[in-house]
Amino acid sequence: MLSRFFDGVPAVEDLSFEIPEGKLFTLLGPNGAGKTTTVRLLLGLIAPDAGTANIAGYKLGQTNNALRSVCGLLTETPGFYDRISAWENLIFFSHLYRIPQTVREQRLEQHLREMNLWERRDSLVGTFSKGMKQKLAIIRAIFHEPQVIFLDEPTAGLDPEASLMVREMIIRLKGEGRTIVVCTHNLDEAQRLADIVGIINGRLLLCDTLANLQSGAGLTTSIEIELGEPLRDHQRTAMNLPFVKSVQGKDRTYVVEVENPSSNIPGLVRVLVDKEVKVYAVRPKARDLEAIYLQCVSGKGVGQ
């Protein structure tokens, strides 16, 4: 349970989650929700006031420099030395990451070519567009082949083509077995990339696999039930089950709010069939991440 306070005000509180190796974790939250503080805590850049964490086998606070050598960071604003070239910037940081000389230049060339920056390698970074700087910053975050990669708004400021390229690269990195943490406001991006989604607003409001969140597993979600004929009163009364939160509808189509739908829907259908209701179809109403996110950060919870 990681907590960190600034001048007595909690930046993040009671943070607890686990990311399996090779998975992509997306941390969603409004501005000031504690995403950057969380990343800084996990990189050992700031110390927690309470709690600890294990990252890639390193315990926070004990071997922070070793921990940082197996982590990569893309900061929210890609900071570079504007008065020296892209190549010189990357060489500088590659030394800080102790990338062996034997592979350094070859690896940089490969990444620069992938990002379409090879031809501009000798240009001053000060002449780069925001998108080009962002691509350069991504190279810096991954060129030492880290086990864990923290990406803060990786596609911010990029055009659609570059965004696609970055997303494909993230997917490739995940395919290589690297664990990736993406902080983003971009819900569409999170939906495309995430294995696990965390929604934070000071506290971790929700943390689950994207599949579970969308199906509503472990949460209250809506299902649509199509019947042969409208419900009669005694049939509707029979639906007053502990896991049924609401029933709305008319004619033959009803929307039912069900808790833990994956385990409770069969029980609901059984009750309806016992009451001689002709059940034609039961369809879960899939929720998109935006709905989940907005519900979460608005303080309403996710049907809990």
Partner 1 sequence: MNVSLLFLRKELRELRKNKFVLPVYLLLPPIAVILPVVFASLAPTIMAIDQNDPVVLAIHRIITTTPEFAHMGTDEAITRFFLRNLVAFYLLLPVGLSSISAAFSIVAEKQQRTLEPILATPITDFEFLIGKLLASLVPSIILTWAAAILAVVIVNWTTWGRYQTPLLPDRFWAIGVFLLAPIMGTASVLAAMRLSAKMSDPQSANQFTGLVIVPTFMVGIGIFGKVLTISMTAVAIACVVLLLLTLFLLRMNLKNFQREEILTKWK
Q: Which of 1, 16, 92, 266 binds partner 1 (CB under 8 A)?
A: 92
Chosen residue from 98, 130, 270, 300 binding partner 1 by CB under 8 A: 98
Nearer to partner 1, 93 or 293 (CB): 93
Q: Binding segment for partner 1 among 19-27, 76-84, 105-113, 187-195 (CB under 8 A)?
A: 76-84
Tell the smallest beta-carbon distance from residue 210 to partner 1 (Å). 27
Q: Which is nearer to partner 1, 1 or 96 (CB)?
A: 96
Shortest distance (Å) from residue 7 CB to partner 1 = 10
One residue of 10, 23, 51, 88 binding partner 1 per CB under 8 A = 88
94 versus 295: smaller Cβ distance to partner 1? 94
Q: Single out the residue of 204, 243, 201, 221 nearest to residue 292, CA to CA.
A: 221
Report CA torsion sign: 110, 115, 120, 125: negative
CB of 29 to partner 1, least distance (A): 19
Binders of partner 1 in range 133-162 (CB under 8 A)? 137, 140
Tell me the per-residue interface mask from 37 to 66 with partner 1, x by CB under 8 A, - otherwise.
---x--xxxxx-----------------xx
In SS3 terms, the chain reads as CEEEEECCEEEEEEECCCCCCCCEEEEECCCCCCHHHHHHHHCCCCCCCECCCEECCEECCCCHHHHHHCEEEECCCCCCCCCCEHHHHHHHHHHHCCCCHHHHHHHHHHHHHHCCCHHHCCCEHHHCCHHHHHHHHHHHHHCCCCCEEEEECCCCCCCHHHHHHHHHHHHHHHHCCCEEEEEECCHHHHHHHCCEEEEEECEEEEEEEHHHHHHCCCCEEEEEEEECCCCCHHHHHHCCCCCEEEEEEECCEEEEEEECHHHHHHHHHHHHHHCCCCEEEEEECCCCHHHHHHHHHCCCCCCC
Shortest distance in whole angstroms from residue 196 CB to partner 1: 23
Considering the rule CB under 8 A, would residue 107 count as an interface residue with partner 1?
A: no
Q: Site for partner 1 (CB under 8 A): which residue of 28, 53, 60, 73?
A: 73
Query: Where do contacts with partner 1 occur on this chain (CB under 8 A)?
Result: 6, 40, 43-47, 65-66, 68-69, 71, 73, 75, 77-84, 88, 92-93, 95-98, 137, 140
